[in-house]
Amino acid sequence: MGFDVYGREPILTCPKPEAENYQDMTDDEKHDWHRKVLRPWTEKNPGEYFRASMWSWRPLWDIMSKTCDGILDKETMDALCFNDGAGPEDQETCTEMAEAIEDWLEESDWMDKSEYSLASNCRVKNETGEFVSMSELDDEKVWQETRSAYGIEISHIIEFCRFLRKCGGFQAW
Protein backbone atom coordinates (compact mmCIF):
# COMPACT_ATOMS: atom_id res chain seq x y z
CA MET A 1 0.00 0.00 0.00
CA GLY A 2 1.41 3.33 -0.95
CA PHE A 3 0.98 6.71 -2.55
CA ASP A 4 1.23 6.65 -6.32
CA VAL A 5 1.83 10.13 -7.70
CA TYR A 6 1.69 10.88 -11.42
CA GLY A 7 2.90 13.93 -13.32
CA ARG A 8 0.08 15.89 -14.93
CA GLU A 9 2.25 17.04 -17.86
CA PRO A 10 5.60 15.34 -17.34
CA ILE A 11 8.62 16.45 -19.31
CA LEU A 12 9.60 13.28 -21.17
CA THR A 13 12.81 12.56 -23.07
CA CYS A 14 11.05 9.99 -25.29
CA PRO A 15 7.70 8.19 -25.51
CA LYS A 16 6.93 5.63 -22.84
CA PRO A 17 7.71 2.11 -24.05
CA GLU A 18 4.91 -0.41 -24.33
CA ALA A 19 5.47 -4.13 -24.23
CA GLU A 20 3.98 -6.03 -27.11
CA ASN A 21 1.75 -8.86 -25.92
CA TYR A 22 2.31 -7.99 -22.24
CA GLN A 23 -0.68 -10.12 -21.26
CA ASP A 24 0.86 -13.14 -22.96
CA MET A 25 4.27 -12.79 -21.29
CA THR A 26 5.37 -15.15 -18.56
CA ASP A 27 6.11 -13.68 -15.13
CA ASP A 28 9.85 -13.95 -15.85
CA GLU A 29 9.46 -12.15 -19.17
CA LYS A 30 7.44 -9.37 -17.50
CA HIS A 31 10.08 -9.04 -14.78
CA ASP A 32 12.85 -8.79 -17.39
CA TRP A 33 10.88 -6.22 -19.41
CA HIS A 34 10.36 -4.06 -16.31
CA ARG A 35 14.04 -4.34 -15.34
CA LYS A 36 15.56 -3.87 -18.80
CA VAL A 37 13.10 -1.51 -20.47
CA LEU A 38 10.70 0.26 -18.13
CA ARG A 39 13.02 0.98 -15.17
CA PRO A 40 15.73 2.66 -17.33
CA TRP A 41 13.03 4.72 -19.08
CA THR A 42 11.57 5.77 -15.70
CA GLU A 43 15.01 6.85 -14.44
CA LYS A 44 15.42 9.06 -17.54
CA ASN A 45 11.90 10.49 -17.07
CA PRO A 46 11.54 11.25 -13.34
CA GLY A 47 8.47 13.48 -13.75
CA GLU A 48 6.17 10.72 -14.92
CA TYR A 49 5.71 8.74 -11.69
CA PHE A 50 6.71 8.74 -8.03
CA ARG A 51 5.78 6.16 -5.41
CA ALA A 52 6.12 6.24 -1.64
CA SER A 53 4.89 3.68 0.85
CA MET A 54 2.36 4.90 3.40
CA TRP A 55 5.19 4.64 5.97
CA SER A 56 7.44 7.02 4.02
CA TRP A 57 4.69 9.32 2.69
CA ARG A 58 3.88 10.55 6.22
CA PRO A 59 7.38 11.93 6.87
CA LEU A 60 7.47 13.30 3.31
CA TRP A 61 4.17 15.07 3.96
CA ASP A 62 5.64 16.38 7.23
CA ILE A 63 8.56 17.84 5.28
CA MET A 64 6.15 19.40 2.76
CA SER A 65 4.10 20.90 5.60
CA LYS A 66 7.28 22.49 7.03
CA THR A 67 8.69 23.75 3.75
CA CYS A 68 5.73 24.41 1.44
CA ASP A 69 3.39 26.26 3.81
CA GLY A 70 3.53 29.46 1.74
CA ILE A 71 3.52 27.58 -1.56
CA LEU A 72 0.49 25.30 -1.15
CA ASP A 73 -2.85 26.41 0.24
CA LYS A 74 -4.23 24.68 3.33
CA GLU A 75 -6.82 22.73 1.34
CA THR A 76 -4.17 21.19 -0.95
CA MET A 77 -1.80 20.54 1.93
CA ASP A 78 -4.53 18.76 3.90
CA ALA A 79 -5.61 16.78 0.83
CA LEU A 80 -2.04 15.51 0.31
CA CYS A 81 -2.55 13.42 3.45
CA PHE A 82 -4.78 11.16 1.37
CA ASN A 83 -4.19 9.23 -1.84
CA ASP A 84 -7.18 10.73 -3.62
CA GLY A 85 -5.90 12.83 -6.52
CA ALA A 86 -4.66 15.96 -4.76
CA GLY A 87 -1.62 17.87 -5.93
CA PRO A 88 -0.56 21.17 -7.46
CA GLU A 89 -1.64 21.59 -11.06
CA ASP A 90 1.33 23.48 -12.49
CA GLN A 91 5.08 23.13 -12.93
CA GLU A 92 5.87 26.50 -11.33
CA THR A 93 4.40 25.42 -7.99
CA CYS A 94 6.17 22.06 -8.16
CA THR A 95 9.51 23.76 -8.88
CA GLU A 96 8.99 26.03 -5.86
CA MET A 97 8.24 22.97 -3.74
CA ALA A 98 11.43 21.23 -4.95
CA GLU A 99 13.51 24.31 -4.16
CA ALA A 100 11.99 24.66 -0.68
CA ILE A 101 12.56 20.99 0.16
CA GLU A 102 16.12 21.06 -1.19
CA ASP A 103 16.87 24.22 0.83
CA TRP A 104 15.53 22.48 3.94
CA LEU A 105 17.74 19.46 3.25
CA GLU A 106 20.82 21.66 2.90
CA GLU A 107 20.06 23.87 5.91
CA SER A 108 19.27 20.93 8.16
CA ASP A 109 22.38 18.93 7.26
CA TRP A 110 20.13 16.01 6.34
CA MET A 111 22.53 15.18 3.55
CA ASP A 112 24.85 13.72 6.22
CA LYS A 113 22.11 11.39 7.47
CA SER A 114 20.46 8.45 5.77
CA GLU A 115 16.85 8.89 6.90
CA TYR A 116 14.29 11.39 8.15
CA SER A 117 11.86 9.87 10.67
CA LEU A 118 8.82 10.99 12.60
CA ALA A 119 8.67 10.34 16.32
CA SER A 120 6.41 7.35 16.86
CA ASN A 121 5.70 4.55 19.28
CA CYS A 122 5.04 2.42 16.21
CA ARG A 123 8.46 0.80 15.99
CA VAL A 124 10.26 -1.64 13.70
CA LYS A 125 13.41 -3.68 14.33
CA ASN A 126 16.49 -2.11 12.75
CA GLU A 127 17.81 -5.30 11.19
CA THR A 128 14.62 -6.95 9.92
CA GLY A 129 12.02 -4.18 9.63
CA GLU A 130 9.55 -6.30 11.61
CA PHE A 131 7.03 -4.47 13.77
CA VAL A 132 7.64 -4.58 17.52
CA SER A 133 4.74 -5.14 19.90
CA MET A 134 4.09 -2.74 22.77
CA SER A 135 5.03 -5.46 25.27
CA GLU A 136 8.40 -5.89 23.56
CA LEU A 137 8.98 -2.13 23.76
CA ASP A 138 8.98 -2.41 27.54
CA ASP A 139 12.33 -4.15 27.21
CA GLU A 140 15.01 -1.41 27.18
CA LYS A 141 17.29 -3.44 24.89
CA VAL A 142 14.58 -3.95 22.25
CA TRP A 143 13.73 -0.22 22.29
CA GLN A 144 17.35 0.66 21.55
CA GLU A 145 17.41 -1.72 18.58
CA THR A 146 14.34 -0.24 16.87
CA ARG A 147 13.45 2.81 14.85
CA SER A 148 10.26 4.66 13.99
CA ALA A 149 8.13 2.93 11.37
CA TYR A 150 7.59 6.36 9.76
CA GLY A 151 10.86 7.04 7.98
CA ILE A 152 12.01 8.05 4.53
CA GLU A 153 15.51 7.74 3.14
CA ILE A 154 17.13 11.03 2.16
CA SER A 155 17.76 9.60 -1.32
CA HIS A 156 13.98 9.09 -1.69
CA ILE A 157 13.35 12.75 -0.75
CA ILE A 158 15.86 13.78 -3.42
CA GLU A 159 14.06 11.50 -5.89
CA PHE A 160 10.79 13.29 -5.03
CA CYS A 161 12.46 16.64 -5.76
CA ARG A 162 13.62 15.29 -9.15
CA PHE A 163 10.02 14.24 -9.80
CA LEU A 164 8.74 17.69 -8.81
CA ARG A 165 11.11 19.44 -11.24
CA LYS A 166 9.81 17.47 -14.24
CA CYS A 167 6.17 16.54 -13.47
CA GLY A 168 4.21 19.53 -14.80
CA GLY A 169 2.00 19.40 -11.71
CA PHE A 170 0.96 16.16 -10.08
CA GLN A 171 -1.95 14.11 -8.89
CA ALA A 172 -2.14 11.08 -6.63
CA TRP A 173 -4.09 7.92 -7.44
Q: What pLDDT shows up at residue 146?
A: 78
What are the pLDDT digits (tens) for 132-166?
Answer: 777 776 666 666 677 888 999 999 999 999 999 99
**Domain residue limits, the chain:** 2-172
How large is the average pLDDT for residues 66-93?
90
* Band of pLDDT at residue 110, cut at 50, 70 and 90: low
47 contacts 166 by C-beta, under 8 angstroms: yes
Q: What pLDDT shows up at residue 172?
A: 78
Helix ranges (H only) for the chain are 27-33, 39-44, 54-67, 74-79, 91-107, 134-137, 140-144, 154-166
How large is the average pLDDT for residues 71-100?
92
- Residue 33: is its pLDDT beyond 70? yes
Whole-model pTM: value is 0.86
How large is the average pLDDT for residues 79-93?
88
Query: Please, which residues have CB within 8 angstroms of residue 145's CB and are 6 or more apart in sequence?
Result: 125, 126, 127
* Band of pLDDT at residue 1, cut at 50, 70 and 90: low
